[in-house]
Amino acid sequence: MKLLLATNNAHKAQEIREILSGSFSDIMTMREAGIELEVEENGTTFRENALKKAVETLAFAGDRFDAVLADDSGLCVDALDGAPGVYSARFSGEGHNDAANNAKLIALLRDVPDDKRTARFCCCVALARTGMDPIAVQGEVEGTILHAARGENGFGYDPFFYYAPFGKSFAELSAEEKNAVSHRRRALNLLREALDVENRSHI
């Protein structure tokens, strides 16, 4: 089966290939397939956005691929009623950048005590397939929001996201450490498990 990834992120594509290569014979990014498409992510949940992107991309790709994998992810902070959530990338408005998003986050949490700064990174991956129902699963990783940035790695909210099992912020983790526990890795593992169960039921 041929799988199209609704992304051009090389690191994300590599991770997906590692986890799903046993389920698909050929896995390509949009750039590798020569496909250009921007799907408006206007859903209110990660699941809605991931499914919309996967379904619309599969329809656009025609019969060149058997399936399309898309994802949507973000940071959900309990003290902010789950914000920034699906608006994580544009939390500080259009023309956003990581620094502005983080500055707004920390300003909103200025008076929130440490035990109330719980948060989680969430990632929903959706697999749209020709002639079959789509699959959507969500992976999460729990943490807390720091008062000041720590670490130089990662991107987005990583410098402020403290992961207790490692005693470090996500920006202090190596790429290998982060990939092993990330919300995307957990979502992809859940997808692989769902595909394995589905395949066994067809035997």
Q: Which residues form the catalytic set?
A: 72
Q: Rounded to whole angstroms, how far apart are CA atoms 160 and 4?
A: 33
What b/e string do you get for 110-127 counting C-beta neighbours within 10 Å, with b at 16 or more?
Answer: eebeeeebebbbbbbbbb
| Best CA proximity match to 68, nearest among 124, 9, 123, 135 | 135
Instruction: Please count the other Cβ atoms lying within 10 Å of the Cβ belonging to residue 96.
Output: 15
- In which element (H, E) is residue 139 found? strand 132-145
Instruction: Report d(CA 183, CA 121) in Å as an integer.
Output: 6
Are 52 and 41 within 8 A, CB to CB? yes
**161-163 and 118-129 as β-strands: parallel, antiparallel, unpaired?**
unpaired
CA angle 170, 116, 103 (to 5 degrees): 55
